[in-house]
Copies of this chain bind each other. A is one copy, B any other.
Amino acid sequence: MTSPRTAGTAPRTALTRARVLESAVALADRDGLGALTMRSLARELGIEAMSLYHHVANKEDLLDGVVDVVAAEIQEAVGELEPLADDAPPSAWKPAMRRQILTARSVLLRHPWATTVLESRTSFSLHIVRYYDSLLGLMRHGGLSYDLVHHAMHALGSRALGFSQELFEPDGAAAGSAAGGAAQEGADDAATAMLTQMADEVPHMVEMLAEISHEEPGSTLGWCDDQTEFEFGLDILLDGLDRLAEREKR
Protein backbone atom coordinates (compact mmCIF):
# COMPACT_ATOMS: atom_id res chain seq x y z
CA MET A 1 0.00 0.00 0.00
CA THR A 2 2.78 2.40 0.93
CA SER A 3 4.54 1.38 -2.25
CA PRO A 4 6.26 4.06 -4.31
CA ARG A 5 3.71 5.61 -6.57
CA THR A 6 6.21 5.95 -9.38
CA ALA A 7 5.30 2.46 -10.60
CA GLY A 8 2.17 1.32 -12.45
CA THR A 9 -1.12 0.80 -10.58
CA ALA A 10 -2.55 4.11 -11.73
CA PRO A 11 -1.23 6.72 -9.35
CA ARG A 12 -3.77 9.10 -7.99
CA THR A 13 -2.46 12.17 -9.71
CA ALA A 14 -2.84 10.58 -13.13
CA LEU A 15 -6.02 12.53 -13.69
CA THR A 16 -5.51 15.92 -15.24
CA ARG A 17 -7.64 18.45 -17.03
CA ALA A 18 -6.18 17.28 -20.31
CA ARG A 19 -7.15 13.69 -19.64
CA VAL A 20 -10.63 14.71 -18.58
CA LEU A 21 -11.12 16.65 -21.80
CA GLU A 22 -9.71 13.86 -23.91
CA SER A 23 -12.11 11.42 -22.32
CA ALA A 24 -14.97 13.82 -22.87
CA VAL A 25 -14.16 14.06 -26.56
CA ALA A 26 -13.88 10.30 -26.85
CA LEU A 27 -17.18 9.83 -25.07
CA ALA A 28 -18.97 12.32 -27.31
CA ASP A 29 -17.43 10.71 -30.38
CA ARG A 30 -18.65 7.34 -29.30
CA ASP A 31 -22.07 8.00 -27.75
CA GLY A 32 -23.01 11.46 -28.92
CA LEU A 33 -23.29 14.79 -27.19
CA GLY A 34 -26.32 13.80 -25.18
CA ALA A 35 -24.32 11.09 -23.48
CA LEU A 36 -21.75 13.55 -22.26
CA THR A 37 -22.86 14.20 -18.69
CA MET A 38 -20.76 14.75 -15.64
CA ARG A 39 -21.80 11.38 -14.27
CA SER A 40 -21.17 9.40 -17.42
CA LEU A 41 -17.84 11.10 -17.96
CA ALA A 42 -16.84 10.27 -14.41
CA ARG A 43 -17.89 6.65 -14.92
CA GLU A 44 -15.76 6.60 -18.05
CA LEU A 45 -12.79 7.72 -16.00
CA GLY A 46 -13.54 5.43 -13.08
CA ILE A 47 -14.16 8.24 -10.62
CA GLU A 48 -17.13 10.01 -9.08
CA ALA A 49 -18.90 12.86 -10.79
CA MET A 50 -17.94 15.43 -8.22
CA SER A 51 -14.27 14.70 -8.62
CA LEU A 52 -14.40 16.20 -12.06
CA TYR A 53 -14.87 19.57 -10.45
CA HIS A 54 -11.26 19.57 -9.41
CA HIS A 55 -10.30 19.82 -13.07
CA VAL A 56 -13.12 21.79 -14.63
CA ALA A 57 -15.05 24.61 -13.03
CA ASN A 58 -18.43 23.38 -14.23
CA LYS A 59 -20.07 21.88 -17.26
CA GLU A 60 -19.76 25.04 -19.32
CA ASP A 61 -16.06 25.00 -18.65
CA LEU A 62 -15.95 21.37 -19.70
CA LEU A 63 -17.62 22.24 -22.99
CA ASP A 64 -15.26 25.14 -23.48
CA GLY A 65 -12.52 22.62 -22.95
CA VAL A 66 -13.70 20.07 -25.48
CA VAL A 67 -14.15 22.80 -28.05
CA ASP A 68 -10.61 23.79 -27.37
CA VAL A 69 -9.41 20.23 -27.93
CA VAL A 70 -11.17 20.07 -31.27
CA ALA A 71 -9.91 23.52 -32.17
CA ALA A 72 -6.38 22.41 -31.41
CA GLU A 73 -6.91 19.44 -33.69
CA ILE A 74 -8.02 21.81 -36.43
CA GLN A 75 -5.04 24.03 -35.93
CA GLU A 76 -2.73 21.06 -36.09
CA ALA A 77 -4.29 19.77 -39.29
CA VAL A 78 -4.13 23.20 -40.87
CA GLY A 79 -0.55 23.57 -39.73
CA GLU A 80 0.40 20.54 -41.75
CA LEU A 81 -0.65 22.18 -44.98
CA GLU A 82 2.18 23.79 -46.81
CA PRO A 83 2.00 27.49 -46.10
CA LEU A 84 1.44 30.11 -48.72
CA ALA A 85 4.82 31.45 -49.86
CA ASP A 86 5.32 35.15 -49.35
CA ASP A 87 5.98 35.63 -53.04
CA ALA A 88 2.96 33.65 -54.18
CA PRO A 89 0.69 35.70 -56.43
CA PRO A 90 -2.12 37.50 -54.63
CA SER A 91 -4.67 35.38 -56.46
CA ALA A 92 -3.37 32.37 -54.57
CA TRP A 93 -5.38 33.45 -51.53
CA LYS A 94 -8.52 31.83 -52.78
CA PRO A 95 -7.38 28.23 -53.35
CA ALA A 96 -5.32 28.44 -50.16
CA MET A 97 -8.32 29.51 -48.15
CA ARG A 98 -10.44 26.86 -49.75
CA ARG A 99 -7.92 24.21 -48.81
CA GLN A 100 -7.65 25.43 -45.25
CA ILE A 101 -11.40 25.53 -44.72
CA LEU A 102 -11.86 22.07 -46.15
CA THR A 103 -9.13 20.83 -43.86
CA ALA A 104 -10.92 22.28 -40.86
CA ARG A 105 -14.06 20.61 -42.14
CA SER A 106 -12.39 17.23 -42.30
CA VAL A 107 -11.59 17.51 -38.60
CA LEU A 108 -15.13 18.51 -37.71
CA LEU A 109 -16.47 15.57 -39.67
CA ARG A 110 -14.62 13.35 -37.23
CA HIS A 111 -16.49 15.03 -34.36
CA PRO A 112 -20.02 15.63 -35.63
CA TRP A 113 -21.23 16.80 -32.24
CA ALA A 114 -18.63 19.54 -32.13
CA THR A 115 -20.52 21.95 -34.36
CA THR A 116 -23.40 22.03 -31.90
CA VAL A 117 -21.08 22.80 -29.01
CA LEU A 118 -19.19 25.32 -31.07
CA GLU A 119 -22.37 27.22 -31.82
CA SER A 120 -23.34 27.31 -28.19
CA ARG A 121 -20.07 28.84 -26.99
CA THR A 122 -20.10 32.44 -25.97
CA SER A 123 -16.38 32.85 -25.44
CA PHE A 124 -13.75 31.90 -27.94
CA SER A 125 -10.97 29.42 -27.84
CA LEU A 126 -7.46 30.70 -28.39
CA HIS A 127 -6.93 28.05 -31.01
CA ILE A 128 -9.97 29.17 -32.94
CA VAL A 129 -8.87 32.76 -32.89
CA ARG A 130 -5.48 31.75 -34.24
CA TYR A 131 -7.19 29.75 -36.96
CA TYR A 132 -9.28 32.77 -37.85
CA ASP A 133 -6.17 34.90 -37.88
CA SER A 134 -4.61 32.62 -40.46
CA LEU A 135 -7.69 33.04 -42.65
CA LEU A 136 -7.36 36.78 -42.30
CA GLY A 137 -3.72 36.48 -43.29
CA LEU A 138 -4.64 34.67 -46.48
CA MET A 139 -7.18 37.30 -47.43
CA ARG A 140 -4.73 40.06 -46.71
CA HIS A 141 -2.27 38.29 -48.97
CA GLY A 142 -4.95 38.54 -51.63
CA GLY A 143 -5.03 42.26 -51.14
CA LEU A 144 -8.46 42.51 -49.54
CA SER A 145 -9.03 45.52 -47.33
CA TYR A 146 -9.68 44.88 -43.66
CA ASP A 147 -13.15 46.17 -44.21
CA LEU A 148 -13.80 43.54 -46.85
CA VAL A 149 -12.08 40.90 -44.75
CA HIS A 150 -14.42 41.72 -41.91
CA HIS A 151 -17.48 41.40 -44.09
CA ALA A 152 -16.06 38.20 -45.50
CA MET A 153 -15.83 36.56 -42.10
CA HIS A 154 -19.43 37.41 -41.40
CA ALA A 155 -20.52 36.19 -44.81
CA LEU A 156 -18.74 32.91 -44.33
CA GLY A 157 -20.04 32.45 -40.82
CA SER A 158 -19.68 28.88 -39.72
CA ARG A 159 -18.47 27.95 -43.19
CA ALA A 160 -15.13 29.46 -42.21
CA LEU A 161 -14.77 26.61 -39.75
CA GLY A 162 -15.94 24.00 -42.19
CA PHE A 163 -19.60 23.42 -41.53
CA SER A 164 -22.91 24.90 -42.46
CA GLN A 165 -26.10 24.29 -40.63
CA GLU A 166 -28.39 22.30 -42.82
CA LEU A 167 -31.93 22.92 -41.77
CA PHE A 168 -34.12 19.87 -41.38
CA GLU A 169 -31.41 17.36 -41.87
CA PRO A 170 -33.74 14.41 -41.66
CA ASP A 171 -32.45 12.65 -38.61
CA GLY A 172 -28.82 12.01 -39.53
CA ALA A 173 -25.91 13.35 -37.51
CA ALA A 174 -25.34 17.09 -37.67
CA ALA A 175 -22.66 17.15 -40.35
CA GLY A 176 -22.06 13.47 -40.87
CA SER A 177 -20.99 12.64 -44.40
CA ALA A 178 -20.90 9.05 -45.54
CA ALA A 179 -22.32 6.99 -42.70
CA GLY A 180 -25.92 6.37 -41.70
CA GLY A 181 -27.21 4.84 -44.92
CA ALA A 182 -30.25 2.73 -44.20
CA ALA A 183 -31.82 4.83 -41.46
CA GLN A 184 -31.25 7.92 -43.52
CA GLU A 185 -32.89 6.36 -46.51
CA GLY A 186 -35.97 5.53 -44.51
CA ALA A 187 -36.26 9.09 -43.25
CA ASP A 188 -35.75 10.48 -46.73
CA ASP A 189 -38.41 8.19 -48.11
CA ALA A 190 -40.87 9.20 -45.43
CA ALA A 191 -40.23 12.85 -46.12
CA THR A 192 -40.60 12.33 -49.85
CA ALA A 193 -43.87 10.48 -49.34
CA MET A 194 -45.23 13.23 -47.15
CA LEU A 195 -44.35 15.92 -49.64
CA THR A 196 -45.74 13.97 -52.55
CA GLN A 197 -49.00 13.67 -50.67
CA MET A 198 -49.42 17.42 -50.72
CA ALA A 199 -48.18 17.90 -54.21
CA ASP A 200 -50.63 20.68 -54.99
CA GLU A 201 -49.53 22.69 -51.99
CA VAL A 202 -45.83 22.57 -52.75
CA PRO A 203 -45.59 21.92 -56.47
CA HIS A 204 -42.02 23.06 -57.02
CA MET A 205 -40.77 21.05 -54.09
CA VAL A 206 -42.28 17.86 -55.43
CA GLU A 207 -41.12 18.49 -58.94
CA MET A 208 -37.61 19.21 -57.74
CA LEU A 209 -37.57 16.02 -55.73
CA ALA A 210 -38.67 14.06 -58.75
CA GLU A 211 -35.93 15.50 -60.90
CA ILE A 212 -33.15 15.33 -58.38
CA SER A 213 -33.86 11.81 -57.27
CA HIS A 214 -33.82 10.03 -60.62
CA GLU A 215 -30.74 11.84 -61.66
CA GLU A 216 -28.62 9.19 -60.08
CA PRO A 217 -29.72 5.63 -59.45
CA GLY A 218 -30.56 4.43 -55.98
CA SER A 219 -33.66 6.61 -55.86
CA THR A 220 -33.79 8.97 -52.92
CA LEU A 221 -30.71 7.81 -51.11
CA GLY A 222 -28.01 10.35 -51.65
CA TRP A 223 -30.38 13.20 -52.34
CA CYS A 224 -27.67 15.47 -51.17
CA ASP A 225 -23.98 14.95 -50.93
CA ASP A 226 -23.04 17.13 -47.98
CA GLN A 227 -19.48 17.58 -49.08
CA THR A 228 -20.46 18.64 -52.60
CA GLU A 229 -23.06 21.04 -51.31
CA PHE A 230 -20.64 22.52 -48.83
CA GLU A 231 -18.06 23.15 -51.51
CA PHE A 232 -20.69 24.57 -53.83
CA GLY A 233 -21.72 27.18 -51.29
CA LEU A 234 -18.15 27.87 -50.27
CA ASP A 235 -17.09 28.47 -53.85
CA ILE A 236 -19.90 30.92 -54.49
CA LEU A 237 -18.81 32.89 -51.46
CA LEU A 238 -15.11 32.78 -52.28
CA ASP A 239 -15.75 33.74 -55.89
CA GLY A 240 -17.98 36.58 -54.81
CA LEU A 241 -15.38 37.85 -52.37
CA ASP A 242 -12.69 37.60 -55.03
CA ARG A 243 -14.80 39.65 -57.37
CA LEU A 244 -15.31 42.31 -54.71
CA ALA A 245 -11.58 42.32 -54.06
CA GLU A 246 -10.89 42.94 -57.73
CA ARG A 247 -13.36 45.78 -57.72
CA GLU A 248 -11.68 47.25 -54.67
CA LYS A 249 -8.34 47.36 -56.38
CA ARG A 250 -9.62 49.44 -59.21
Contact = CB atoms under 8 A, between A and B. Distances in A.
Interface of A: 118-119, 121-124, 126, 128-130, 132-133, 136-137, 140, 146-147, 149-151, 154-158, 160-161, 164-171, 191, 195, 198, 201-205, 207-208, 211-212, 215, 224, 229-230, 232-233, 236-237, 239-241, 244
A121 B168 contact: yes
A21 B133 CA distance: 44
Contacts of A230: 154
A169 B204 contact: no
Given A146-B211, A215-B147, A119 B229 contact: no
A2 to B, nearest CB: 46
Copies of this chain in its oligomeric complex:
2
A133 B202 contact: yes
Contacts of A167: 118-119, 121, 157-158, 160-161
Contacts of A155: 229, 232-233, 236
Given A122-B171, A168-B121, A205 B132 contact: yes
A88 to B, nearest CB: 17
Nearest to A140: B204
B119 A233 contact: no
A150 B203 contact: no
Contact of A124 (B129, B168, B201): B168
A233 B157 contact: yes
Contact of A136 (B160, B161, B208): B208
